[in-house]
Structure 1
Amino acid sequence: MTDLRRNPAEVIEVANLAPVAVLNHNKPAAYLISAAAYENMLEQIEDAALTKIVKARQGGKSVKVNIDDL
């Protein structure tokens, strides 16, 4: 907490894309991640959700479509 209070920008810069554990009395109180790491995590969660949908729909009914009819 002390380092974070003194210079939060430096803590974030040093961490780069890695999470930083914020300790309070030597116990994790929170985890700090960069905006880029957070956005990457959200994309991975979205991809996992889409993968689940695709797997659930595999083997289902299909319809042949002629591209010229579209």
Structure 2
Amino acid sequence: MESILARASIGISELKLNPTAAIERAHGPVAILNRNKPVAYLVPASAWEAICERLEDLELAEIVKARSGETPVSVKFEDL
């Protein structure tokens, strides 16, 4: 059985009937089920924005790690 990575779930048929109600009831991610298997997740905009920011931070951290072995270059502030 697949694990559901949300505290709430809704059938896809119920979602089709009234998507606005599903969004309003959601206080976090909602698993969308088709035949009792998760096929998608409905995520509030604020949570999605936080996820995107976190992913961007992780990408930037990888760049920093990759460049940490490089020789630093001295520059004057005025040159920037």
Report the TM-score range of the alignment, normalised by the length of the smaller protein: 0.7 to 0.9
SS at the partner of 2:66?
helix
SS at the partner of 2:41?
strand
Q: Percent identity?
A: 49
Q: CA RMSD in A?
A: 1.9
What is the Cα deviation at residue 48 of structure 1? 0.8
Note the residue ranges of structure 2 that are not aligned, 5 or more in a row: 1-11
Q: Give the structure-2-normalised TM-score.
A: 0.67
1:2 partner letter: S
Q: Give the structure-1-normalised TM-score.
A: 0.74
More helix by share: 1
1:4 partner letter: L
If asked which structure has higher relative contact order (CA below 8 Å, sep 6+), I would say 2
Distance 1:13 1:68, change over 3 A: same
In the alignment of these two chains, the number of paired residues is 69
Distance 1:2 1:69, change over 3 A: closer
Alignment of 1:1-70 (within 5 A): 1-16=12-27, 18-70=28-80
Note the residue ranges of structure 1 that are not aligned, 5 or more in a row: none
